[in-house]
Structure 1
Amino acid sequence: MNSATTLKKKQTILTELSNGDFDAFLYDCDGTLADNMEGHKASYRAAALMYGFELDDTIIDELAGWPIIQVAEEIRKKYGASYNPEVFAQLKNMLYEDTFIQETKPIDFVVAHLKAHAGRVRIGVVSGGSQVSVSRTLQQLGITKLVEVLVCAGDTARGKPYPDPFLYAAKQLGVAPTRCLVFEDGNPGVQAAVAAGMQWIRIDHV
């Protein structure tokens, strides 16, 4: 099966799965709309090396969707490292935005799904990334104008896996949580969607 056929098949499946009486689609960004997780992992590893330790980046997959400061705190605990998690997060963001963000590629079938439904349902993006990083990523993907609400790290007191970011996005859109459908690639994001009382679709990277 060639890549075009595979893409078309994934688009068809995603459209079928998302059929229903929904008023809003809420998409995660990194790893869901954007094929950029390797860049994020590389920037975490680079930040860790600057603090004198080598990072096993499987922890980034496990915590996908968490606010970066909270990921930095979990890394600090696991490795017994000595740093301020907020400073580590700022360093990680700087490394990513300066070096890796321009390498961002779309996850084509998910971006195509968003484009096909913009104007038919309300569109939000809910991410644990920084406002600057996510905004630049959406620009790279060419979908900034299609996104009505953007919720990022710091916009709510608690991030994923708590429901707060999704509930805040629904409130901003004026849509009941039960009429929102979430698209997520990480366990914390799925947990947040469930806690928010929203239906969800897991995005498979394979």
Structure 2
Amino acid sequence: MKNFKFAIFDLDGTLLESMEAWNNLGRDFLSSKGIKIPDNLNDIIKLMTLREAAEYFQTAFKINLSADEILIEMSIIMEAKYKNELELKPYVKEYLTILKNNNVKMCIASATPLYMIDAALRRLNIIDFFEFISSCDEVGVGKNQPDIFYYAAKKLKAEPSEIAVYEDADFALITAKEANFYTIGVYDKGFHDKRKNIELICDMYIESFKELL
């Protein structure tokens, strides 16, 4: 691995053990309404956006809320988890410390809303490692397009080839790789079934940040 002086980190599933919380969000919301949860709920909603899931809940379970109101309640559930519960993956803080000591400029680029990211990073006492936090909300598209990575690179004042991108998701790694960033795949059980493909996609693959200490 080259000694990069710039790094872009994904948050969920890369630095933070949070993918399970997102995967269980639908269940948590329905439980909060006292609704019996179908065994196949995750299969039904796994490819839906949050809005599509909210609209599905509204009609399938006859919830007397608008889709927007359901989205607000689901956001409140997740915000509480970011503020109070979610933990770092093993050896994340140790690795970030090494990079900081080597004057690597780091940032976060995530699809998660900024206020949730900020709450988690402050509670976990790692926000000072990063030059800035960026969200897909700021560029208007997800990580299936390179906008968020280019946006972060511009703020870091670096070229893509000078930046290491750390991601757990196959589609995000493909996007970053095609945009000429150096890509480091990080194992997360949420993408376990795609692991072999991820290893082929990225420039480097790790199961744990311990490998980089």
Q: TM class by shorter-chain length?
A: 0.7 to 0.9
Aligned length: 179
Name the counterpart of 1:123. Answer: 106
Name the counterpart of 2:50. Answer: 72
Q: Which runs of 5+ in 1 are unaligned?
A: 1-18, 64-69
Return closer, same or farther for 1:89/1:151 CA change in 2, 3 Å cut-off. Answer: farther
Q: Deviations over 1:46-90 (max 9, x none)?
A: 235659675307965xx7xxxxxx82145468x586486655443
Alpha-carbon distance in structure 2 between the residues aligned to 1:110 and 1:165 = 22
Return closer, same or farther for 1:174/1:198 CA change in 2, 3 Å cut-off. Answer: same
Alpha-carbon distance in structure 2 between the residues aligned to 1:150 and 1:191 = 21
Q: Which runs of 5+ in 2 are unaligned?
A: 60-64, 189-206, 208-213
Is structure 2 residue 34 aligned with structure 1 residue 56?
A: no
Deviates more, 1:178-187 or 1:96-105: 96-105
Return closer, same or farther for 1:182/1:51 CA change in 2, 3 Å cut-off. Answer: farther
Deviates more, 1:146-155 or 1:108-117: 108-117
Deviation for aligned residue 1:202: 1.0
Select 1:166's aligned residue among 141, 149, 152.
149
**TM-score, structure 1 normalization:** 0.73
Deviation for aligned residue 1:189: 2.0
Is structure 2 residue 80 aligned with structure 1 residue 102?
A: no
Select 2:11's aligned residue among 29, 32, 36.
29
Deviation for aligned residue 1:91: 2.4
Which of the pair has more CA radius of gyration?
A: 2
Deviation for aligned residue 1:171: 0.6
Secondary structure at 2:25's aligned position in 1?
Answer: helix
Select 1:147's aligned residue among 130, 151, 167.
130
Secondary structure at 1:182's aligned position in 2?
Answer: strand
Is structure 2 residue 163 aligned with structure 1 residue 185?
A: no
Deviation for aligned residue 1:139: 1.4
Taking only aligned residues, the RMSD between alpha carbons, in angstroms, comes to: 2.9
Return closer, same or farther for 1:145/1:99 CA change in 2, 3 Å cut-off. Answer: closer
**Contact in 2 for aligned 1:21/1:179 (Cα 8 Å):** no
**Larger RCO, structure (CA 8 Å, separation 6 or more):** 1
**Contact in 2 for aligned 1:128/1:160 (Cα 8 Å):** yes
**Contact in 1 for aligned 2:146/2:179 (Cα 8 Å):** yes
**TM-score, structure 2 normalization:** 0.71
Return closer, same or farther for 1:57/1:35 CA change in 2, 3 Å cut-off. Answer: farther
**Contact in 2 for aligned 1:131/1:153 (Cα 8 Å):** no
